[in-house]
Amino acid sequence: MNFRMIKILPLFLGGILFSQHNADSVQMKQISDEILVNGTAYNNLYDLTKNIGARLSGSQAYEKAVDWALLKLKEAGADKVWKEEVMVPVWVRGTESLKIKTADGKWKPVNMLSLGNSQGTNGKDVEAEIIVVSNKNEFDALPREFVTGKIIFFDYVFDQRFINTGQAYGDAGMYRRSAASWAGKKGAKAVIVRSLSSAVDDVPHTGMMRYDADDTAKIPAVAIGPAGADELHKNLKNQKVFAKLNSNCRMAGEKLSYSVIGEITGHTNADVMVVSGHLDSWDVGEGAQDDGAGIVQSIEVLRAFKKLGLKNNHTLRVVCFANEENGVRGGNQYAENISKKNERHIIAIESDGGGFTPRGISMVMDDSKREEIRSWRKLFEPYGIHDFDLKYAGTDIEPMEALGVPLAGLVVDSQRYFDIHHSAEDTFDKVNRRELLLGATTMAQLLYLVDKNWK
């Protein structure tokens, strides 16, 4: 190669690269324009949250949501829509109350929610002295005889110092998940946990807990709001405090339910690209950010492909998973089914961090694929997508990791999510139209590039 060639080559290659980059960037802009101007995701979310609302897996509302998703996928232009059978656990909340008595002798009600999958008190009052611990070490240091017969209050504070609130949620997660099991093993009557909440209000947040297989006593677990936790902790510093818990929540067996699937069949290839969210929510609020947003965004991706006539080579499939919140049965069943059918998937994406402004793409895939997605960074930057470093993917698609499916997650601004997550405050008004549509845009753009470049 002579000197002249060396000087020319970069320009020449640059020309090719630029030209390809340019064609892709034009197509990505068309996707963005279509979704931001004509997107139906926001209206669909209004419909889902206001006309169905909370839709706990196993509930009648969830079954309505199944019919709703079938309809919306058809409206969006899916070639095929169907329901995928899955057995889900049924948990019912029933009535519940928690009262606190301090030195003044009066019982005062506290904002509370039983944790999902928890046992209740069978409608009887369970009354006991409250003992507070700030973390697991403090609990572990308590002698069994001191714990026995008490109600243990785990007041582990949501750590505001994390910039990504998902890390603070992960940091505090074991208290919601396991405190009842720890305390039950030492003979406690019930546990109260501080809600996993970034807010400074008094809203309680539910979420899944679990008993260990060897738990002989399955004691009730309830969450209280941050302000209630602050007040209770303060009271406990200088006096004995008693709690009276009464709840009817219980597991009620299993039930046949469904994930909902719709697709535009691949024009040249039967391999599948999944874009997804979970259709179930907790039984309080409206399941707007968690995960109505991911559902309507996934449907929006399909709608935009159809409307723009993008003619996907591979099958573009929207999966609305059942039972993410209290069992992940939908995600596990889907992975099992595609494994049995030997149905090859070239990528699966999930949006389950809320419909907030997208900031990046997280990846669980081999390094060569990861680097290829990272090489598209310049194409994504005009859309504010800059974070390609995180290595996780959604709960529902994780079971596909073992099958070798490359997984991606929509990374969104995390600041507001845990203010409302799993609470009565997760309602439609917390969702911003443009933020929601931009999340759909990012996923559609990524699938456009994957469809074109991956075999």
List residues with catalytic annotation: 324
Q: Specify the residue, 108 or 386, whose C-beta has the smaller distance to a copy of itself.
A: 386
Member of 317, 359, 421, 422 binding a copy of itself (CB under 8 A): 359
Task: Please identify which residue in the block is written with the tokens 């059918």.
Answer: 341
Q: Dig out the tokens for 325 from the structure.
A: 């919140």
Member of 61, 83, 413, 454 binding a copy of itself (CB under 8 A): 413
- 260: left (phi > 0), else alpha (psi -120 to 50), else beta? beta
**Considering only CA atoms, which of 343, 275, 332, 401 is closest in space to residue 87?**
332
Tell whether residue 435 is a contact of a copy of itself (CB under 8 A).
Answer: yes
CA angle 87, 274, 389 (to 5 degrees): 110
Tell whether residue 315 is a contact of a copy of itself (CB under 8 A).
Answer: no
Burial zone of 160 (CB within 10 Å; 0-12 exposed, 13-18 middle, 19+ buried): exposed
Tell whether residue 134 is a contact of a copy of itself (CB under 8 A).
Answer: no
| DSSP SS3 for 262 | strand
Q: Specify the residue, 95 or 167, whose C-beta has the smaller distance to a copy of itself.
A: 167
Q: Dig out the tokens for 159 from the structure.
A: 């750590």
Tell whether residue 423 is a contact of a copy of itself (CB under 8 A).
Answer: no
Tell whether residue 32 is a contact of a copy of itself (CB under 8 A).
Answer: yes
Tell whether residue 386 is a contact of a copy of itself (CB under 8 A).
Answer: yes
Q: Dig out the tokens for 120 from the structure.
A: 């209740």
Q: Specify the residue, 69 or 437, whose C-beta has the smaller distance to a copy of itself.
A: 437
Q: Which stretch binds a copy of itself (CB under 8 A): 34-42, 174-182, 212-220, 280-288?
A: 34-42
Q: Which stretch binds a copy of itself (CB under 8 A): 28-36, 115-123, 185-193, 333-341?
A: 28-36
Member of 382, 391, 404, 453 binding a copy of itself (CB under 8 A): 382
Measured from the CB of residue 325, what is the shortest distance to a copy of itself in angstroms? 24
Torsion (CA) 435, 413, 171, 230 in degrees, nearest 10? -70
> What backbone phi and psi angles, to 5 degrees, belong to 277?
-155, -175
Site for a copy of itself in 145-174 (CB under 8 A): 160-161, 163, 165
Measured from the CB of residue 51, what is the shortest distance to a copy of itself in angstroms? 19
CA angle 43, 47, 53 (to 5 degrees): 135
| DSSP SS3 for 407 | strand
Please list the alpha-helical segments (H only) found in 255-390: 293-308, 329-341, 367-374, 377-380
List contacts with a copy of itself (CB under 8 A): 32-33, 36-37, 42, 160-161, 163, 165, 198-200, 357, 359, 382-384, 386-387, 413, 415-416, 419, 432-435, 438
